[in-house]
Structure 1
Amino acid sequence: MGFWKRVLVNALIFLALAGFFPQMIHVATVWVALGASLVLGILNALIKPILLILSLPITILTLGLFSIVINALMLQLTAAFVGTGFAFSSFGASMFAAIILSLVNAIVTDRFARS
C-alpha cells in the first residue's frame, strides 16, 4: 500500500478512535487527523528504524511485543509534534491506539494486496 493511502487510512483510524474513545484520544478536526497521520508517516520513516535497531535485544527477549511500545512512543512523539489538537490521555491510551493501528493496517494492507 502506498504512502498516501496509508496516511489516509491512519487519519481515518485516528478519527474513529477519537469517536469511540473520546476520553482516551483527542483529535480536534479532520485536518488535524490528516496532519498527525502525515507526521506519523514521516517519523516512522526517519526515526522508527533507529529505535528498532537500538531495541533489538529487548524486542527479541519479548518475542516482538516490545514493538508495540515503540509504536506507542512514535504516537506520543507525533502528539508532541502536532500539538494540542491531537493528544492521548496516557501512555496506555497510546499503546491501545498503537495496537488498533497495527491491526487495522495489517487488515487493510492484506486486503489491498489481494486485489
Structure 2
Amino acid sequence: MAATLTDIFIIALLFGAIGYGWYVSRKVQVLMAALKEMEPLVKEFSMAVDKTEDSVNQLKLNLEEPQQPEAAMEDLFEDDEPMFATRRQPAQKIPGARVVRNKQDLVRRFFETSRSESRA
C-alpha cells in the first residue's frame, strides 16, 4: 500500500515536472519570436551607439586641438542679439551683445525682435 502511494506520488510529480517544462518551453518560444522581431531595432540601436561613440571621440579630439579664441569670439557675437546671463556671473561687457537678466526678458525680447522683423 505504501509503495503504491509512493509510486502515485512520484508519477504525479513527474507529470507536474513535464507540464512545467512544456509551459516554460512555450514561454521561451514566445520570447524568442519577440527577440527575432526586435533584431532590426537592436541593430539600429547598436549602430547609433557606435556613431555616438565616434562623435564623442571626435569632440574630444577637437577639444584637445588649440583654437583661436579671438576669431571664435568674433564669430559668436557678430549679431546684436540678446543673450541670457545670471546675476552670479561677473559683469562683462561684450560688444554687440545685450545682457538679459532672466528668462522673462529673454522671451519678451524674442517676441519684440520677431515682431519688428515681421513688419520690416
TM-score bracket, normalised by the shorter chain, equals under 0.3
Q: Could you tell me the TM-score, scaled by structure 2's length?
A: 0.24
